[in-house]
Amino acid sequence: MSESVSSHIAITEPCDAVVIGAGFAGLYMLHRLRGLGFSVRVFEAGSGPGGTWFWNRYPGARCDIESMEYSYQFSEELQQDWEWTERYATQPEILAYINHVADRFDLRRAIQFDTRVDAMNFDEQAGRWTVATSRGERVSAQYCVMATGCLSSTNTPDFDGIDSFRGPCYHTGDWPHDPVDFSGQKVGIIGTGSSAIQSIPLIAEQAEHLYVFQRTPNYSVPAHNGLLDPDFVRATKDDYAGFRKRNSAAPAGFGSAFPANEGSVLEASEAEQQAAFEARWQRGGLPFLGAFGDLMINPQANDVAAAFVRNKIQEAVDDPAVAQTLSPTQVVGCKRLCVDTGYYQTFNRPNVTLIDISEGQIDEITTSGLIANGDSYELDAIVLATGFDAMTGALLAIDIRGRGGQTLRQKWSEGPRTYLGLATVGFPNLFTITGPGSPSVLSNMLPSIEQHVNWIADCIEYLREHEIANIEPTLEAEDQWVAVVNMIAGVTLYPHCNSWYLGANVPGKPRVFMPFLGVPPYAERCREVASNGYEGFVLTPLGVDSAN
Ligand code: NA7
């Protein structure tokens, strides 16, 4: 038993399954397993459910997938009853929905809040996991399900002097629960990813002055957010199952109402190109990248879309030099496309200054501000919009030890290796919801979560019915899966820039493209694996020593 697990002394009742995390994934996993009659404990670090949506409370935080799609579909009554107000839901509304779900399905009583899982150890003799929590408990479980989220472990760069700043320093991914008032303050924000692009327009409205420290400019498409049209809501609810089905057949699992055009941009005339991009720009949101079929495959094709967005930036920003600094040069879409409300226009405000640190860096955080490119900035507050240790960060923050005491950190030292993004060799009976190697962050997370939860619940039920003690992928299946994920990514432009999809935003993290591209073929493969008796997995019957 590992040192960290054995030091926890309070032993509680064994259970069938421990679920770690009570965000969208953990809540539904609990609901499904409980419905099958399994005993389940859920541990959640936050003081309430919500996961990512519990922590990311920064101004302007909202989902970039439309509300009618970014919701559970497992309960027809729930999807009929719940009323979203806006096309893109705000963080408070999503959190209210999550709390409603927790109450409606009586989930809270199985969740222990304010509790982190520190360590997990697989006991090969018993074929069970021992889970150790920050409250000193040890729980024995046959199955562990990691519902720890893809964007839940914040990335705070190791800036010199970061602890010396006298004012407040906020991270967008760990925002205070009480409202933050920037009125009359000089504020510095570091980063220009999605969180910054959502919060900058609102912070700028409040602050006396906002300094934006930009290392890499980003492409952003207008949200054109607004109140939902009641006729659209009614029509969607009249055939919610059909709407969900059409979305599940779309490449990224959403946006079927505005399907991707499969034609080549290079075969279109300039007028056709402009008309297609303009139509999507006017509609707003992520379907912009579906304007043509070759945008994420062919660099010349991508450059046509990139030039269109750069033109939009030049039109939106008054000062040509500022517009130039805001104009990205990398492949559009290989970092996640941002969706904004008035982002570029915010740089026309007299109280907003853009500081280009692409050739330099944040040299130091001082007691009264920061130094960047050798220049000093006096600040009352700092906002770190510096993103996440995505996809693997929350998993590797736990000391997970599988067969032979091997840690997950050791196993994944050169990048995550999984079978279907659901399981990994050496760690029997451990499942990852939206793990690396699954569509996850390159899909609509909600249906992807439900697809994984349903697969895992069905699998655990199958194991019970067939008196199987342990399930674990074969090395061959895992190696082949990793090769397929890489092969698919390799024919696209996704690996062409330093994105968090590749782990490139975290110094020292192995550069490996983590998501699987393509929702429909992925779901089909998962179905096949299950219907072939869990092909690619070793199933060890009860009573047989799984250590053999
Ligand atoms: P992102 O998209 O990872 O953005 C983080 C930003 O912080 C990005 O502009 C980074 O610049 C910048 N950054 C990170 N480290 C540094 C350092 N050391 N110095 C200066 N600037 C830095 O995170 P978000 O929270 O905005 O969005 C994450 C996802 O949440 C988003 O994609 C949506 O799916 C929702 P860089 O680009 O690395 O040069």
State pLDDT tens for residues 439-457: 999 999 999 999 999 999 9
Q: Is the pLDDT of residue 7 over 70?
A: no
Q: Is 200 in the pocket of ligand 1 (CB under 6 A)?
A: no
What pLDDT band is residue 543 in, cutting at 50, 70 and 90?
A: confident
Q: What is the mean pLDDT of residues 305-314?
A: 98
How far apart CA 307 and CA 294 sit, in angstroms, is: 15
Distance in Å, CA 122 to ligand 1 centroid: 35
Q: What is the pLDDT of residue 546?
A: 57
| Integer Cα distance of 355 and 342 in angstroms | 19
Q: Is the CB of 196 under 6 A from ligand 1?
A: yes
Per-state percent for the chain, helix, strand, coil, to nearest 5: 35, 20, 45
- Report percent pLDDT > 90 for the chain: 95
pLDDT of 1: 47
385 C-beta closer than 6 A to ligand 1 = yes
Residue 76 neighbours by CB distance under 10 Å: 11
Backbone angles phi, psi at 339, to 5 degrees: -130, 120
Cα–Cα distances (Å) from 452 to 42, 104, 422, 515, in that order, read 17, 22, 8, 14
Q: What is the pLDDT of residues 338-352, one digit of tens each?
A: 999 999 999 999 999
Q: Give the per-residue pLDDT at 8.
A: 56
Specify the ligand 1 atom closest to the Cα of 384: 7
Rounded distance from Cα 216 to ligand 1 centre (Å):
9
190 lines ligand 1 (CB under 6 A): yes
476 Cα: distance to centroid of ligand 1 (angstroms): 35
- What are the pLDDT digits (tens) for 85-130? 999 999 999 999 999 999 999 999 999 999 999 999 999 999 999 9
Instruction: Give distance in angstroms: CA of 239 to centre of ligand 1.
Output: 38
Among 359, 362, 357, residue whose Cα is nearest residue 158: 362
For ligand 1, whether the C-beta of 139 sits within 6 Å is: no
* Pocket probe mutation, ligand 1, options 58, 65, 194, 365, max atoms within 8 Å of Cβ: 194
3-state secondary structure 110-170: HEECCCCEEEEEEECCCCEEEEEECCCEEEEEEEEEECCCCCCCECCCCCCCCCCCCCCEE
Partners of 225 in the beta sheet? Answer: none
pLDDT at residue 83 in the model:
98
- Comparing CA positions, the residue from 348, 436, 401 lying closest to residue 151 is 436
Mean pLDDT score, 322-326: 98
Nearest CA to ligand 1 atom 29: 194
Q: What mean pLDDT comes out for the span 414-442?
A: 98
In angstroms, rounded to a whole number, what is the distance separating the alpha carbons of residues 356 and 339?
A: 21
Closest ligand 1 atom to 357 CA: 20
Three-state SS string over 222-290 comes to ECCCCECCHHHHHHHHHCHHHHHHHHHCCCCCCCCCCCCCCCCHHHCCHHHHHHHHHHHHHHCCHHHHH
pLDDT band for 11, please (50, 70, 90 cuts): low
Rounded to the nearest whole angstrom, what is the distance from the C-alpha of residue 502 to the centroid of ligand 1? 13
Atom of ligand 1 nearest to the CA of 196: 26
**Ligand 1 close to Cβ of residue 372 (< 6 A):** no
Nearest-CA residue for atom 10 of ligand 1:
191
Ligand 1 touching residue 215 (CB < 6 A): yes
Mean pLDDT of the chain: 96
> What is the C-alpha separation between 166 and 417, in angstroms, rounded?
42
Cβ of 194 closer than 6 Å to ligand 1, yes or no, is: yes
Hunting for tokens 């997938």 — which residue is that? 65
> Is pLDDT above 70 for 540?
yes
User: How is residue 60 written in tokens?
Assistant: 């302007």
Residue 210 forms beta bridges with which residues? 187, 352
Top mutation candidate among 505, 509, 511, 514 for ligand 1, by most atoms within 8 Å of CB:
505
Please tell me the distance between residue 388's alpha carbon and the centre of ligand 1 in angstroms. 8
Question: What are the residues whose beta carbons fall under 8 Å from the beta carbon of 236, sequence distance 6 or more?
Answer: 68, 243
Indicate the top mutation candidate among 151, 211, 215 to test ligand 1's pocket, ranked by most ligand atoms within 8 A of CB. 215
Calpha distance 520→522 (Å, rounded): 5
Atom of ligand 1 nearest to the CA of 358: 39
Residue 168, pLDDT score: 98
The alpha carbon of 283 is separated from its chain's Cα centroid by a whole number of angstroms, namely 24
Express each pLDDT in 349-388 by its tens digit. 999 999 999 999 999 999 999 999 999 999 999 999 999 9
Reported as a single tens digit per residue, the pLDDT across 38-78 is 999 999 999 999 999 999 999 999 999 999 999 999 999 99
pLDDT band at residue 544, thresholds of 50, 70 and 90? confident
User: Nearest CA to 149 among 445, 439, 428?
Assistant: 445
| Cβ 62 under 6 angstroms from ligand 1 | no
- Report the nearest atom of ligand 1 relative to the CA of 387: 23
Contact 363, 374 (CB under 8 A): yes
Residue nearest to atom 34 of ligand 1 (CA): 336
Q: Does any ligand 1 atom lie closer than 6 A to the CB of residue 362? A: yes
Mean pLDDT throughout 276-300? 97
| pLDDT confidence band for 242 (50 / 70 / 90) | very high
Query: Using a 6 Å cutoff on CB, does residue 336 contact ligand 1?
Result: yes
- The number of the ligand 1 atom at minimal distance from the alpha carbon of 173 is 25
Mutate which of 152, 195, 364, 511 to test ligand 1's pocket (most atoms within 8 Å of Cβ)? 195
In angstroms, the Cα distances linking 151 to 43, 391, 456 are 18, 6, 21
Element (H, E) at 15: strand 15-20
Probe target for ligand 1 pocket from 169, 203, 332, 386, with the most ligand atoms within 8 Å of CB: 386
- Asked if residue 8 lies in contact with residue 135, where contact means CB atoms within 8 angstroms, the answer is no
Is the C-beta atom of 517 inside 6 A of ligand 1?
no
Measured in angstroms, how far is the CA atom of residue 199 from the centroid of ligand 1?
A: 13
Q: At what angle do helices 240-248 and 445-465 cross, to 10 degrees?
A: 90
Is the distance from the beta carbon of residue 346 to the nearest atom of ligand 1 less than 6 Å? no
CA-based torsion, 124, 128, 133, 136: positive or negative? negative
Q: What integer pLDDT is reported at residue 3 of this predicted model?
A: 47
Q: What is the pLDDT of residues 475-498, one digit of tens each?
A: 999 999 999 999 999 999 999 999
Cα–Cα distance between 47 and 229 in angstroms, integer? Answer: 35
* For residues 145-168, average pLDDT: 97
Neighbours of 245 (CB within 10 A): 12
